[in-house]
Amino acid sequence: MIFKASYLKLNKEGRLRDIAENLYNIYESCVLCPRKCRVNRNKGEKGVCRAGASVKISSVHPHFGEEKPLVGRNGSGTIFLTNCNLLCVYCQNWDISHIGEGKEISDEDLAYEMIRLQKLNCHNINFVSPTHYLPNIVRALIYAIELGLTIPLVYNTGGYERVEIIKMIEGIFDIYLPDFKYWEGRMSSLYSCGAEDYPERAKKAIKEMHRQVGVLKLDERHIAQRGLMIRHLVLPNDLAGTKEFVEFVFDELDPGTYVNIMSQYHPSYKANSFPELSRKPTTSEYTKAILAARDHGLFNLD
Ligand code: SF4
């Protein structure tokens, strides 16, 4: 059966335009994410993420380093958006997320970039850090559909989301790819620019994403069509709270949820200012994290 991206139905029903308009209205007093800065981005005011009202991108290309179900043979069509609403002290892409290095483009040009990736046979359009540019993305999607876009969209987020906004975009993204970074607000406050409510916000948002798209479904080529994929970066000294996170997935989502327990943490940007973050996790710490996931009954591990 040929898979059809969900947004095609929304567009046919004429609902995509309403969602784009409602999201654009939020720029007048931005509450797109839990920071709720209430700045008027249309007038050039900047909130915590420092993003304006025009979308800014740092790069667009087929990416072969993402999870296998996203990459397939031809790559995940990745669009790296600048700025970020979480601003972690150990960010590996700090030049893009903290400094905002990139170029501003129109929503129409963002649509052309999506079409270019589809023409390169990418399996999906993977928006990295989409939260603060959602209005632009949805408007660009409308143009892209007119130009023939049909491949699924991936919402690749740090997980600091408002559940109300995730509800607003139901039916647009077939694949949600959130991080779950910390179990304790003490850690998110310290390492992610005062975001003490991160664990609660991320849990609520991820539950809503799961409600919308369910566990990951692959096609006959083992390429992701629709579903939730969660990333969990193991931090040294168990700062991420892996055991509690996997319990949450088992108890409140589904044991078959696709979970990528990642080992690649290394101290970047300002991490060395925090002694507990200034080293890679040991092999034993990583193994313990994987075993915790298996012991808690998760069976769809990357
Ligand atoms: S998206 Fe940016 S400006 Fe809007 S509430 Fe979040 S951090 Fe503030």
Q: Which of 150, 220, 211 lies closest to 176 in space, CA to CA?
A: 211
- Name which CATH class applies to 6-295: alpha beta
Which residue's C-alpha comes closest to atom 1 of ligand 1?
A: 132
Structure tokens at 209: 């994403």
Q: What are phi and psi of 252, to 5 degrees?
A: -115, -10
Q: By the 8 A CB rule, do 8 and 141 touch?
A: no
- With a pLDDT cut of 70, the percent of the chain lying above it is 99
Which residue's C-alpha comes closest to atom 4 of ligand 1?
A: 30
DSSP one-letter code for 193:
T
Cβ neighbors of 203 (< 8 A, separation 6 or more) are 180, 248, 252
| pLDDT score at 72 | 96
Query: 164 C-alpha to center of ligand 1: Å?
Result: 14
Query: 86 C-alpha to center of ligand 1: Å?
Result: 10
Tens digit of pLDDT for each residue in 191-209?
Answer: 999 999 999 999 999 999 9
- Quick check: helix, strand or coil at residue 104? strand
Tens digit of pLDDT for each residue in 18-45?
Answer: 999 999 999 999 999 999 999 999 999 9
Domain boundaries, the chain: 6-295
Q: By the 8 A CB rule, do 96 and 203 touch?
A: no
Q: Which atom of ligand 1 is nearest to the CA of 26?
A: 4
Q: By the 8 A CB rule, do 258 and 285 touch?
A: no
- Tokens 């898979």 correspond to what residue? 3
Structure tokens at 196: 């003490």
Query: 154 C-alpha to center of ligand 1: Å?
Result: 20
| pLDDT score at 232 | 98
Q: Which atom of ligand 1 is nearest to the CA of 41?
A: 3
Position 1 confidence tier, pLDDT thresholds 50, 70, 90: low
Q: Which of 200, 206, 260 lies closest to 232 in space, CA to CA?
A: 260
| pLDDT score at 2 | 67
Tens digit of pLDDT for each residue in 83-139?
Answer: 999 999 999 999 999 999 999 999 999 999 999 999 999 999 999 999 999 999 999
- Please give all residues whose beta carbon lies within 6 A of any atom in ligand 1, as ranges: 30-33, 35-37, 39, 47-49, 51, 85, 132
First to last CA, the chain: 26
| pLDDT score at 226 | 97
Position 3 confidence tier, pLDDT thresholds 50, 70, 90: confident
Query: 243 C-alpha to center of ligand 1: Å?
Result: 31
